């Protein structure tokens, strides 16, 4: 076992076994006095006649047995509470994390992501040091965002598309951004059931959404998770988000290419897709173009293409178009990958790709400042003490909203001096 490698299940089993036996990991031989068992056993009151002559009789009773033969606790159990050996995880240093990530160690990568997702201040500091150290290795992956209403087939698509990319020789990481996961207690996205083969694939890494509270919190954690995955050698990052609320805007702001997965049935009203979401997309993909649905999918595709005429494309010098595919039969996936590659090549040539990345970096900085200031204000004890009173005054009509803001900002300013 090397220092930076976690033990294999077999190694782990061996160490655990050793804690339940004595000496060198071997069970003591019956009747033989053993330094570690001596004094902890005694002979029972009754032993067979012939055994009285022989001290090596096997039957010794251990003291402090906590359970009776029927599995119930003995009356003296409370005197000797059961102590389970706890396997503590070795604390990793920044160098351990960096080395592990650079070697593509998935266990260390997961631990680093957990650090990034933690709300603990020390973890935050450590995470930032790790990020800083791996920064030169980031930025080389292609970042693809995928959105669509629930049931559009995002997860099934990612399973099929991800496997296709792996077959083509890429390492793929799948992340999810779901600001509602705090409420639903667990991510509804990035669900591993729909990504069965991808989950098991050594060239794929799947991480569900962090539970970050505010969308800003989730956004920061997701971006940093993306950077860690890039540093760990993943070439393509697929970021899934559900097509409701503000999360598409967040994901758009962290990816190079953004696709909207839709279902057949023309008209955006039908699927609750807002025009705003179409404006973010570099491709609209009509999924489930298979079987009886194929004809309808082709009609939907031209309907979307028509709608796109009236919408400003999301990316400069790129024409957003509609495509069809089937995540089940895998038809159209190749074509879509060609489109993404063309988009990337073209963007790198005309400078749009880099420009977007730079704008995104600066946007991240500003967003993080916003988030930080927001927390600083609302977690301020003086503000917390004053807030209720000011809000009540607004509700009673004694104070205008603007006065309330001025009052609270004034209080905040003073508290900082
Ligand atoms: N026929 C057909 N069914 C599909 C296709 N893609 C997905 N489905 C089915 O559509 C249903 C929803 O697919 P998901 O992949 O879970 O959809 P999702 O967009 O991830 O849904 P949420 O995670 O709830 O947002 C499943 O029953 C899939 O089997 C497809 O290309 N063709
Ligand atoms: Mg899903």
Does position 41 have pLDDT exceeding 90, yes or no?
no
Q: How confident is the model at residue 186 (pLDDT cuts 50, 70, 90)?
A: very low
What percentage of residues in the chain have a pLDDT greater than 70?
72
3-state helix, strand, coil in the chain (%, to 5): 50, 10, 40
Find the residues whose C-beta lies inside 6 A of ligand 1.
148, 150-156, 188-189, 191, 194, 242, 287-288, 290, 326-328
Distance 248 CA to ligand 2 centre (A): 14
> Regarding beta strands 236-242 and 142-148, do their DSSP bridges make them parallel or antiparallel, or are they unpaired?
parallel
Pocket test for ligand 1, best of 146, 150, 153 (most atoms within 8 A of CB): 153
- Nearest-atom number in ligand 1 for the CA of 240 is 20
Residue 155 CB-half CA count within 13 A: 20
Kindly report the CATH number that applies to the domain delimited by 90-136: 1.20.5.170
Distance 155 CA to ligand 1 centre (A): 7
The C-alpha atoms of residue 57 and residue 27 are separated, in whole angstroms, by: 17
Centre a 10 Å sphere on the Cβ of residue 136 and count the other Cβ atoms it contains: 8
Atom 17 (ligand 1): residue with closest C-alpha?
153
- Alpha carbon of residue 393 to chain centroid: 42
Which of 187-191, 233-237, 356-360, 380-384 is predicted least confidently?
187-191
Does position 239 have pLDDT exceeding 50, yes or no?
yes
pLDDT in tens, 298-312: 999 998 999 899 889
Q: Specify whether the CB–CB gap between 256 and 281 falls below 8 A.
A: no
Residue carrying the six token digits 């570690």: 36
Distances in Å between the alpha carbon of 123 and those of 111, 212, 374?
11, 15, 21
Which of 163-167, 184-188, 242-246, 366-370 is predicted least confidently?
184-188
Burial 327-363 (b: 16+ CB within 10 A, else e): beeeebbeebeebbeebeeebeeeebbeebeeebeee
Does position 32 have pLDDT exceeding 60, yes or no?
no
For 137, the token pair is: 């290795």
Does position 230 have pLDDT exceeding 60, yes or no?
yes
Q: Give the residue range(s) of CATH 3.40.50.300 domains in the chain.
A: 138-348
Task: Identify which of 160, 216, 202 has the alpha carbon closest to the alpha carbon of residue 365.
Answer: 216
The C-alpha atoms of residue 191 and residue 208 are separated, in whole angstroms, by: 7
The C-alpha atoms of residue 102 and residue 109 are separated, in whole angstroms, by: 9
Sort residue 293 into left (φ over 0), alpha (ψ -120 to 50) or beta: alpha
Atom 22 (ligand 1): residue with closest C-alpha?
150
Atom 9 (ligand 1): residue with closest C-alpha?
153
What does pLDDT average to over the chain? 81
pLDDT: which is higher, 178 or 126: 126
Kindly report the CATH number that applies to the domain delimited by 138-348: 3.40.50.300
> Regarding beta strands 172-177 and 204-207, do their DSSP bridges make them parallel or antiparallel, or are they unpaired?
parallel
The pLDDT of residue 154 is 92
Q: Is 178 helix (H, G, I), strand (E, B) or coil?
A: coil
Q: Is 72 helix (H, G, I), strand (E, B) or coil?
A: coil
Pocket test for ligand 1, best of 156, 199, 265 (most atoms within 8 A of CB): 156
- Nearest-atom number in ligand 1 for the CA of 158 is 15
Distance 145 CA to ligand 2 centre (A): 13
Atom 24 (ligand 1): residue with closest C-alpha?
150
Residue 324 CB-half CA count within 13 A: 19
Q: Specify whether the CB–CB gap between 37 and 23 falls below 8 A.
A: no
pLDDT: which is higher, 73 or 352: 352
Distance 260 CA to ligand 2 centre (A): 13
pLDDT in tens, 315-353: 999 999 999 999 999 999 999 999 999 999 999 999 999
pLDDT in tens, 354-403: 999 999 999 989 988 988 898 899 999 999 999 999 999 999 999 999 99
Between the CA atoms of 361, 144, 260 and 352, what dihedral angle is there, to the nearest 10 degrees? 50
What percentage of residues in the chain have a pLDDT greater than 90?
55
Atom 32 (ligand 1): residue with closest C-alpha?
288
Q: Give the residue range(s) of CATH 1.20.5.170 domains in the chain.
A: 90-136
For 401, the token pair is: 């909203």
Distance 262 CA to ligand 1 centre (A): 11
Does position 87 have pLDDT exceeding 80, yes or no?
no
Distance 243 CA to ligand 2 centre (A): 11
The pLDDT of residue 74 is 47
């Amino acid at each position: 076992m090397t220092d930076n490698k976690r033990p294999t299940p077999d190694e782990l089993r061996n160490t655990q076994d050793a804690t339940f036996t004595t000496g060198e990991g071997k069970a003591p031989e019956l009747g033989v006095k053993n330094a570690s068992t001596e004094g902890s056993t005694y002979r029972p009151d009754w032993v067979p006649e012939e055994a009285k002559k022989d001290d090596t009789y096997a039957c010794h009773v251990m003291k402090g047995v906590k359970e009776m033969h029927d599995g119930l606790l003995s009356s003296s159990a409370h005197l000797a509470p059961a102590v389970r050996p706890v396997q503590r995880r070795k604390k990793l240093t920044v160098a351990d994390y960096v080395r592990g990530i650079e070697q593509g160690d998935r266990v260390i990568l997961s631990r680093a992501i957990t650090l990034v997702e933690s709300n603990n201040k020390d973890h935050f500091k450590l995470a930032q040091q790790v990020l800083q150290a791996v920064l030169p290795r980031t930025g080389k992956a292609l970042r693809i965002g995928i959105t669509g209403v629930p049931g559009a087939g995002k997860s099934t698509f990612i399973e099929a598309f991800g496997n296709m990319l792996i077959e083509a020789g890429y390492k793929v990481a799948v992340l999810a951004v779901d600001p509602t996961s705090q409420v639903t207690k667990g991510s509804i996205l990035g669900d591993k059931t729909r990504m069965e083969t991808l989950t098991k694939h050594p060239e794929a890494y799947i991480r569900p959404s962090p539970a970050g509270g505010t969308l800003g919190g989730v956004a920061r954690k997701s971006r940093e998770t993306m950077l860690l995955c890039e540093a760990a050698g993943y070439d393509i990052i697929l970021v899934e988000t559900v097509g409701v609320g503000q999360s598409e805007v967040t994901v758009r702001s962290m990816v190079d290419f953004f696709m909207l997965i839709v279902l057949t049935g023309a008209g955006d009203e039908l699927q609750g897709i807002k025009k705003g979401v179409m404006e973010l997309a570099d491709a609209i993909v009509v999924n489930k173009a298979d079987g009886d649905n194929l004809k309808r999918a082709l009609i939907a595709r031209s309907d979307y293409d028509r709608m796109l005429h009236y919408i400003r494309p999301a990316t400069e010098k790129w024409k957003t178009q509609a495509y069809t595919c089937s995540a089940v039969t895998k038809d159209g996936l190749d074509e879509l990958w060609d489109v993404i590659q063309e988009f990337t090549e073209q963007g790198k040539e005309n400078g749009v790709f880099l420009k977007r990345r730079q704008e995104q970096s600066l946007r991240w900085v500003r967003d993080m400042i916003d988030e930080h200031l927001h927390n600083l204000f609302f977690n301020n004890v003086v503000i917390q003490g004053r807030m209720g009173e000011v809000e009540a005054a607004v509700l009673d009509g004694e104070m205008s909203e603007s006065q309330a803001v001025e009052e609270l900002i004034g209080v905040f300013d003073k508290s900082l001096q």
